[in-house]
Structure 1
């Protein structure tokens, strides 16, 4: 949505909220900047604006002020527009605060930060979500570095089909796919999109890291219907047959950190250096695990194997650069 249209819609909302009576379309045009003078052009633009406001969930009411009015008017009742008071228990506010910190991608960071600010304002006294005690032992981390994530997330939200080039496992060349996306899911640190493959005429799952080039919208919003019995997580789970976890890493983890690593460790023992533990854990994929370990920053040092250690060092140097 353009800045000019956003300002016009906001002006309409403010105008109708502040009015105690129904305002006709002509009265709205006279009060709101941005509408054309030509009647037919105004009529088309105003119809699009009304549709947009209703799609946004704004309760635009139509009616007349008295029986003698020939033309209906519009207004927005404050009691229908305003949200009820939000009251969260301390544990609810803490959990939602943690969820907002999960997203580290640029595509969703702004929305998550804004949501967290509103949660803090609604939280009861004594539930400060910045207090480390609220989230002790919880280290939510989800990376969405794949360029395909943003457009696919938007396509799922808007129910729009997409096309993209995808390199299947064991292949060296990409194949063009046309998909009706049902959902985007993270499994074992990897992102997948699942939906109906129009080419194969069957449900399919695609790993986002194997999508090459841009993801393009292939239809209007609302043109994709998700089956009521579709379970995207189960679909991805049944498709994702991961190799055996036959690689072993030895990590030096700072005391009080790395709880997610400790959970899957086969051995945890105090390290020679005070304030550190030696953690032994299995993994399957060096590139992905290097990204995961690098996200812990100075709290984790890779001791073995050498290729994993070098991969983490390269990523940390790249961040510094």
Structure 2
């Protein structure tokens, strides 16, 4: 799916979810960003029909109806009672995990084009639900290879990329017929047929260096019907042993309970004007640990090793750059 279409679908969901009224196709065309670019009425209606089908395939409950008996044309809306999740009861450790995830996400109430859509709704006389908080801007980073590989999967096209094996600086060029991109144990993998080895293989995206380049024509890659990508990665991914390292962290008082549970307090120190504990923690996967620690923000500081401290610093600086560029 293109970025423009994805943004248009998000705006459509926002508009239909933010009103209790049924919106006709014509009103949606004037309200939702992305539809005004349609070259003609027929082009718009074809675009709108595709978008409706896409939403229904995604499981979004799209309702049709009329606001009154005097309306001659049906409209559309999304009932929040059908769209929202029910109440979820979390155990303390589960709540802590969710809290850590939330620290990686910036969730303003309304941003960018989404706010423009609501302004147009109100200007058109549409009753808008002021409690709507649907827009979420992710701060979770994906690997640079993610987009090109996903596009290659959708285009059923082979790709080439340089790949670095675990524990080795050597890079080798790989030619892959990609079947899919999946997440396994907080890492992204691409699975497919390795033409160089003439066998199915999976590759971790964080070890792909340089650009992912499409090779050959589209429509030539065929994914086997009986392959389960997650099972394949689980059976073959990370089969190489990963050494355990020990990190020393400063943890602010009464903060980062999840870090404290996984580590051992070995001392006390003051960072700036803030007091806290020195915690030692064993890390099986340093790469993902940098993401996890960065999610703690100023509550946790890496004292050693330097490579982990640098990894956390890079992630925090990337978030700051994204925020300043909005």
| Interval containing the TM-score (normalised by the shorter chain) | 0.5 to 0.7
The Cα of 1:165 is off from its aligned counterpart by 1.0
The Cα of 1:298 is off from its aligned counterpart by 1.5
Q: SS in structure 1 opposite 2:132? A: helix
Asked if 2 retains the 8 angstrom alpha-carbon contact of 1:257 and 1:299, the reply is yes
Change (3 A) 1:230 1:315: closer
Q: SS in structure 2 opposite 1:91? A: coil
1:268 maps to: 265
The Cα of 1:167 is off from its aligned counterpart by 1.9
The Cα of 1:50 is off from its aligned counterpart by 8.7
The Cα of 1:240 is off from its aligned counterpart by 0.5
Matching of residues 304-315 of structure 1 within 5 Å: 304-306=304-306, 308-309=308-309, 312=312
Change (3 A) 1:231 1:312: closer
2:170 maps to: 172
Q: What is the CA–CA distance in structure 1 between the aligned matches of 2:202 and 2:99, rounded to whole Å?
A: 29
1:240 maps to: 238
The Cα of 1:204 is off from its aligned counterpart by 0.9
Asked if 2 retains the 8 angstrom alpha-carbon contact of 1:153 and 1:184, the reply is no
2:159 maps to: 163
Q: What is the CA–CA distance in structure 2 between the aligned matches of 1:99 and 1:224, rounded to whole Å?
A: 39
Q: CA RMSD in A?
A: 5.4
Asked if 2 retains the 8 angstrom alpha-carbon contact of 1:252 and 1:276, the reply is yes
2:25 maps to: 14
2:182 maps to: 184
Q: What is the CA–CA distance in structure 1 between the aligned matches of 2:78 and 2:316, rounded to whole Å?
A: 44
Greater relative CO (CA pairs within 8 A, separation 6+): 2
Q: SS in structure 1 opposite 2:88? A: helix
Q: What is the CA–CA distance in structure 1 between the aligned matches of 2:77 and 2:219, rounded to whole Å?
A: 27
Structure 1 length-normalised TM: 0.54
Structure 2 length-normalised TM: 0.53
CA deviation profile, 1:38-88 (whole Å, cap 9, x unmatched): xxxx9xx799759845763579xxxxxxxxxxxxxxxx964xx54454253
2:297 maps to: 297
Q: What is the CA–CA distance in structure 2 between the aligned matches of 1:191 and 1:3, rounded to whole Å?
A: 24
Aligned equivalent of 1:149, options 135, 146, 149: 146
Aligned equivalent of 1:258, options 256, 259, 281: 256
2:200 maps to: 203
Asked if 1 retains the 8 angstrom alpha-carbon contact of 2:256 and 2:300, the reply is yes
Q: What is the CA–CA distance in structure 1 between the aligned matches of 2:214 and 2:49, rounded to whole Å?
A: 22
Stretches of structure 1 that go unaligned for 5 or more consecutive residues are 19-31, 37-41, 60-75, 124-129, 131-139
Asked if 2 retains the 8 angstrom alpha-carbon contact of 1:262 and 1:279, the reply is yes
Matching of residues 90-101 of structure 1 within 5 Å: 90-91=87-88, 101=102
CA deviation profile, 1:85-126 (whole Å, cap 9, x unmatched): 42533328999x979848759xxxx99x99xxx9x7389xxx
Stretches of structure 2 that go unaligned for 5 or more consecutive residues are 13-23, 30-36, 58-72, 116-128, 322-326
Asked if 2 retains the 8 angstrom alpha-carbon contact of 1:250 and 1:302, the reply is yes
